[in-house]
């Protein structure tokens, strides 16, 4: 006679349309067997399924990983770095798709914008406490391997406000400063900006239109140049005044600064001060009395 007290932990219901695994029951798919859903085999291992469950990943979170490609940024997907911890491009902001190669934000016609005062679109505050060697807050070097042109760095401030801008402030294409804190000193050399013309060692004549510094103007037609406008403006705004315009190499024969006895003045360079007074620096083309000659 059948034992009516025996209750299997895994059984099919009387209607045959449902398989039941009661408390304590186990379905064990042996090696070579398959578990399928709608004809598709579930190939994930038990360890993999348990790892997902243990991490608390939802279906939506798993969707961010689906079709994600290592090293390639895919819209609305998680970013997975490549074997070199690399990614191909990052778009900052959502105003427009940047045409930059590595990362960028906005375009010349559609910019990322803010109406909040005292904000930086990019901000890095870093510090080096090394006692030797060089540290750079940012290192940028562009190699021109073809016949094209360009810049390693292009900073461009555009005033497009329909009114008077920089009220009580300043707008600059670039603002570069050196600050020496109280209690700090400099034993070597330090500069607010250092600009170097660098030619590798070679037997040649340097090119005519090359310089360490180029001051350029690009004022369009129909503008009237103000009487105080100039290529260079010097201010001395600190409480303690600097009071010297230039520091030159020591006087040397045929050097940048050399002795010269009186000669006829043939030319002058025009300058203007903040009050609008015009001054002239006297020049000559006569090097006959200059130490070391021209």
Structure-model confidence comparison of residues 128 and 91, the more confident one = 128
Going by C-alpha positions, the residue among 192, 278, 267 that lies closest to residue 228 is 278
Give the pTM: 0.72
Q: Give the confidence band of 144 by pLDDT, cuts at 50, 70, 90.
A: very high
Q: Give the confidence band of 174 by pLDDT, cuts at 50, 70, 90.
A: very high
Tell me the CA end-to-end span of the chain in Å, nearest whole number: 127
Which residues 6+ apart lie within 8 Å of 64 measured at CB? 76, 77, 78
- Mean pLDDT calculated for residue range 95-122: 87
Going by C-alpha positions, the residue among 89, 93, 67 that lies closest to residue 78 is 67
Distance CA 281, CA 223 (A): 27
pLDDT at 5: 63
Cα torsion angle, 209, 214, 215, 216, sign? positive
Q: Give the confidence band of 56 by pLDDT, cuts at 50, 70, 90.
A: confident
Distance CA 248, CA 258 (A): 11
Q: Give the confidence band of 212 by pLDDT, cuts at 50, 70, 90.
A: very high
Distance CA 44, CA 34 (A): 11
Q: Give the chain's mean pLDDT.
A: 88
Whether residue 1 has pLDDT greater than 60: no
Most confidently predicted of 12-16, 210-214, 248-252:
210-214
Which residues 6+ apart lie within 8 Å of 17 measured at CB? none
């Amino acid at each position: 006679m059948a034992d009516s007290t025996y209750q299997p932990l895994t059984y099919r219901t009387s209607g045959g349309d449902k398989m039941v695994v009661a408390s304590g029951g186990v379905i064990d798919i042996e090696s070579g067997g398959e578990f399928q859903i709608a004809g598709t085999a579930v190939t994930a291992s038990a360890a993999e399924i348990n790892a997902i469950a243990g991490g608390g990943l939802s279906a939506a979170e798993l969707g961010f990983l689906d079709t994600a490609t290592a090293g390639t940024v895919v819209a609305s997907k998680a970013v997975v770095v490549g074997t070199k911890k690399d990614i191909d491009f990052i778009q900052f902001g959502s105003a427009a798709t940047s045409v930059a190669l590595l990362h960028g934000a906005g375009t010349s016609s559609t910019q990322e914008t803010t109406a909040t005062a005292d904000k930086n679109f990019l901000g890095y505050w870093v510090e080096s406490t090394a006692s030797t060697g060089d540290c750079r807050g940012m290192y940028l070097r562009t190699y021109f391997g073809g016949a094209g042109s360009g810049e390693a760095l292009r900073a461009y401030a555009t005033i497009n406000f329909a009114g008077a801008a920089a009220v009580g402030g300043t707008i600059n294409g670039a603002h570069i400063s050196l600050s020496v804190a109280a209690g700090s000193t400099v034993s070597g050399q330090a500069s607010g900006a250092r600009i170097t013309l660098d030619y590798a060692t070679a037997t040649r004549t340097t090119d005519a239109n090359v310089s360490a510094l180029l001051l350029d103007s690009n004022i369009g037609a129909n503008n009237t140049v103000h009487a105080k406008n100039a290529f260079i403006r010097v201010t001395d705004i600190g409480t303690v005044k600097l009071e010297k315009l230039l520091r030159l190499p020591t006087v040397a024969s045929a050097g940048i600064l050399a002795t010269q006895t009186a000669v006829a003045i043939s030319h002058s360079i025009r300058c203007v001060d903040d009050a609008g007074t015009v001054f002239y620096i006297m020049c000559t083309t006569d090097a006959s009395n200059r130490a070391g000659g021209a």
